[in-house]
Structure 1
Amino acid sequence: MSEEDDLAAAWGASLEEEAPASADSARVLNQAEIDSLLGFDSERVDDSKSAIERIIGSGLVSYERLPMLEIVFDRLVRLMSTTLRNFTSDNVEVSIDGITSLRFGDYLNSIPLPAMLAVTKAREWDNYGLMVVDSAMIYSVVDVLLGGRRGTAAMRIEGRPYTTIERTLVERLITVILRDVSAAFDPLCPVEFQFERLEVNPRFAAISRLSNACILVKLRVEMEDRGGKVELLLPYATLEPVRELLLQQFMGEKFGRDSIWENHLADELRHTDVALDVVLDEQPLPLSTVVNLKPGDRITLNVGPGAPVRLRCGEVPLFEAMLGRRENRLAVRIERELKRAGTEEAA
């Protein structure tokens, strides 16, 4: 028995020695350390992102890296405002709620149902996009197109599938908007967005992998007391064919085709005074002859009577004309326009 007691005592002593080491190696993080790791530390005064936030967001590409996209969507808003006014015969205002980058799977899980999801295809880019029309917008469009009275909110009946009439009217709306999306991209790159199919279940509208990055544009459409939201989702894989064009820096109002300044500049140019010189003859003279010229000296022009003369603006020849007389003044009659060197090279 003594040998067994000695052995048990030895085991007990060894366990007591190992206990602090094992407890220290299996130490659990306290709440303050967890909050600091996840970025919820209330004592942080700077706005820098935590390590977890950086890891999660590292796979996304910000839309701000594609400067031309914002110009395209701004053009889309102007086009939609005009098109939807003609489509609904009502006062329509379209605005952008936001442009964000997110993963495709996160967006599918965040779609507020019921809604209609239109799968679209960019024919020239050979890829797909997604347009989502929320329930408020669906009932507003149906109410407006079927002659609902102004000043009254659209009646919403939740919990039932959409009827054939509602799906047909929304499909017409989507077709009109897709035509504007194509026109918005047209100055950058000609592309046609085609309507593929209409879904009500997000699982059947999977146009990309759930982990793929996408750009989401939220558009708010207001029609007096009615309205709703239309969201356009474009995966970055869809925009890849025009990525180099979207990376360009935008300078000036190019897409809007705003002709106000063009017309103003053209009007001012027409009222600008331009001096025209009638060149009778050109001949080289020695510098000594020019220096020795005195009042009364004559320079013989090698131009016969009735020979054509040139009209120049500075050093640029513009017209060929005939010299004549009108009353007591010399006059020229323009015969033809001279082609300039730059114009010939361009031709």
Structure 2
Amino acid sequence: MVNAEATTERRSRDRAPAAHAEGLGAAKLNPFGDLHTLQHLSARFARALRGVFEPLLRQEVRAWAEPLVVQRFADYRSERGDALTGWMPFGMVPAAAGAQALCVLDGRFVLEMLDLFFGGTGAAPAELPAEFSPAAEALAGRIGAVLATPLRAAWEPLTRIEFSPGRCESSAAMLPIDGDDAMIVTRFGIAAGDGSPVFLDILYPVVGLKPHGATLTGKVLDKAEADPAWRTALTRSVMNVRFPVRSVLAEPVVPLSLLVNLKPGDVIPISIGGDVPVMVGRDRLGTGTVGTSNGFAAVRLTAIAQIDDEGLSA
């Protein structure tokens, strides 16, 4: 069954928070200093993982963020060992020097979800294969595509980064990442029922986050409701947006023969009905009656059109 009791230990090292892990060489690997802000973003992303994996696992899951660490990619690969693993690069826009994030999927977990997808019980082979089948690669790609949206949303309060998943590889050697590259490792636990958790890792290259260094060291505002002062200021700004309002008094239809023979002084007859349309941009605001007000031509609104859920389009 998916998330049944694990037969092998997935990680033996005690993962200390990066901000206090002196043994990781934080002064050299981590130029950002305090990474509590990124830990906060990871917690936001963890809350969205239930909606990603519950449809795949067909049961409720628990998801949480583990303390993050900063380490060289070669050390990370060594810790994972030779077990089947899905390595999926995520393009980041904007990012420095074309750097990519990396989503790391537990191979057994992918095969369990694949068995569930095809109507099985969520069982994986006792002995894992050396690489993924085309079906497993397709499922991993589907997971990556779904993860991109909540990952982008998790970063939204801090900065706008677009994530685009690439091809899932069974071997880390196929990745365009050097072993000496410094990576920020964010880990997420996923557990279904009372079973043991599996872990999903998102790795961010330190060089790729350098354009966002100023915001990474700032504060993140994370509230269920928007800040009242910000909402009030936004409302006032929106209320000052100007829209062109026009009224169509007449739209006569004439043959081409009349148009080509028109000359100054000719008259095109029009007829104005009782109500004329009043437009805002390309949308009908309502109808009104043509008249005068304070010596100027004017339209008195007699009816307001029903506005659909999308509202007026500029």
Q: 1:65 aligns with which of 34, 37, 47?
A: 34
Q: Deviations over 1:254-313 (max 9, x none)?
A: 33x414998xxxxxxxxxxxxxxxxxxxxxxxxxxxxxxxxxxxxxxxxxxxxxxxxxxx
> Which structure has greater helix proportion?
1
Give the structure 2 partner of residue 121 of structure 1: 91
Give the structure 1 partner of residue 207 of structure 2: 237
Q: Please tell me the root mean square deviation across aligned C-alpha atoms, in Å.
A: 3.0
Q: 1:82 aligns with which of 51, 64, 69?
A: 51
Tell me how many residue pairs correspond in the alignment. Answer: 205
Give the structure 1 partner of residue 65 of structure 2: 96
TM-score (norm 2): 0.57
Q: Deviations over 1:312-340 (max 9, x none)?
A: xxxxxxxxxxxxxxxxxxxxxxxxxxxxx
The alpha carbon displacement at 1:80 in A equals: 1.3
Q: 2:102 aligns with which of 107, 113, 130?
A: 130
The alpha carbon displacement at 1:64 in A equals: 5.7
Give the structure 2 partner of residue 213 of structure 1: 182
Q: Is the 8 A contact 2:191 2:198 kept in 1?
A: yes
The answer on 1:171 being equivalent to 2:137 is no
The alpha carbon displacement at 1:231 in A equals: 0.9
Q: Is the 8 A contact 1:129 1:235 kept in 2?
A: yes
Give the structure 2 partner of residue 37 of structure 1: none
The answer on 1:258 being equivalent to 2:224 is yes
Q: Is the 8 A contact 1:98 1:219 kept in 2?
A: no
Q: Is the 8 A contact 2:104 2:201 kept in 1?
A: yes
Q: Structure 1 residues 241 and 63 mapped into 2: Cα distance closer, same or farther (>3 Å)? A: closer
The answer on 1:106 being equivalent to 2:91 is no
Q: Is the 8 A contact 1:60 1:101 kept in 2?
A: yes
Q: Is the 8 A contact 2:57 2:116 kept in 1?
A: yes
Larger Rg: 1
The answer on 1:222 being equivalent to 2:191 is yes
The alpha carbon displacement at 1:182 in A equals: 1.1
Q: Which has the higher contact order (CA 8 A, sep 6+)?
A: 2
The alpha carbon displacement at 1:128 in A equals: 0.6
Q: Deviations over 1:138-194 (max 9, x none)?
A: 122213322333xx7544432443211111111111221222111111221111111
The answer on 1:246 being equivalent to 2:216 is yes
**In 2: Cα distance, 1:57 partner to 1:236 partner:** 11
**In 2: Cα distance, 1:197 partner to 1:227 partner:** 25
Give the AA of the match of 1:167: E
**In 2: Cα distance, 1:71 partner to 1:57 partner:** 19
Give the structure 2 partner of residue 158 of structure 1: 128
Give the structure 1 partner of residue 113 of structure 2: 141
**In 2: Cα distance, 1:70 partner to 1:231 partner:** 13
**In 1: Cα distance, 2:148 partner to 2:215 partner:** 21
Equivalence map 1:271-310=2 (5 Å): none
Give the structure 2 partner of residue 180 of structure 1: 150
SS state at 1:119 partner: strand
Q: Is the 8 A contact 2:72 2:182 kept in 1?
A: yes
Q: Is the 8 A contact 1:136 1:227 kept in 2?
A: no
**In 1: Cα distance, 2:143 partner to 2:198 partner:** 13
Give the AA of the match of 1:157: E
TM-score (norm 1): 0.52
The alpha carbon displacement at 1:81 in A equals: 1.8
SS state at 2:207 partner: helix
The alpha carbon displacement at 1:247 in A equals: 0.5
**In 1: Cα distance, 2:196 partner to 2:114 partner:** 11
Q: Is the 8 A contact 1:88 1:144 kept in 2?
A: yes
Q: Is the 8 A contact 2:141 2:167 kept in 1?
A: no
Give the structure 1 partner of residue 271 of structure 2: none
Give the AA of the match of 2:150: D
The alpha carbon displacement at 1:242 in A equals: 1.0
Q: Which runs of 5+ in 2 are unaligned?
A: 1-19, 229-314
Q: Is the 8 A contact 2:67 2:187 kept in 1?
A: yes
Give the AA of the match of 2:115: D
Give the structure 2 partner of residue 194 of structure 1: 164
Q: Structure 1 residues 137 and 64 mapped into 2: Cα distance closer, same or farther (>3 Å)? A: farther
The alpha carbon displacement at 1:232 in A equals: 0.9
